[in-house]
Amino acid sequence: MEAEYEIGDKVVYPAHGVAEICAIETKLIGGSKLRFYHLHVLGTGLKIIVPMAKAEENGMRPIADEAAIDELYDLLRDHDVTQDRQTWNRRYRGFMEKIRTGSLFDVGEVYRDLSLLKNTKTLSHGERQMLATARTLVVRELSTARSAPEAQIADELDSMFK
C-alpha cells in the first residue's frame, strides 16, 4: 500500500530533492479516475505532477527521520572507502544512477566519495557538478528534516571532509 500524503507535506522526489505537495487532483483519463500529487520542488521552483498510484514506485518518499539522519552521518564519517580506479565517465554513470534512486544513503555516498576524491585529485567538470548536486540534495533534506538553516547544515557536512 502506498503512503498517503496531504497538501503541505514535504517529501523527497528522486534527483530533484525536497518538494512540497501543493495540490492533490483527480482527473478522468480514459474512463478511469486517477489521482495526482502536484509537487513544488524547494530551491528550484520546479513543478512535478506524480500519479498517486505510482508515487512510491517512482521513488517519492517521506523526509528522513532522526534515525536515518544518524545513519547518514555515520556513512559520511566513514572515510575508509576504497578509491575507485575507474575512468571518470564510468564513475560518473555509477554516481548518476545512485542520485536517481532518491535514496538519502545513495546520494550521501556520492557526496562522500566525491568529497574524498576531491581531496586527492582534481575532479572533472561533470564530477564537480555532481558533487554540487549531491551536496545540495543532502543539505536541503537535512535542513528540512531538522528545521535548521541550510548554511549551518552545509558547514557541518563540509567540516567532515577537511
For 18-64, what is each residue's pLDDT tens digit? 999 999 999 998 889 999 999 999 989 999 999 999 999 999 999 99
How many Cβ atoms sit within 10 Å of the Cβ of residue 133? 19
Residue 45 lies in a domain: yes
Both 55 and 71 in one domain: the answer is no
Residue 13 in contact with residue 60, Cβ under 8 Å? yes
Number of domains in the chain: 2
Question: Same structural domain for residues 56 and 70?
Answer: no
The whole model's pTM is what?
0.89
Tell me, rounded to whole angstroms, the distance of Cα 59 from its chain centroid. Answer: 10
Q: Which residue has the cell 536541503?
A: 140
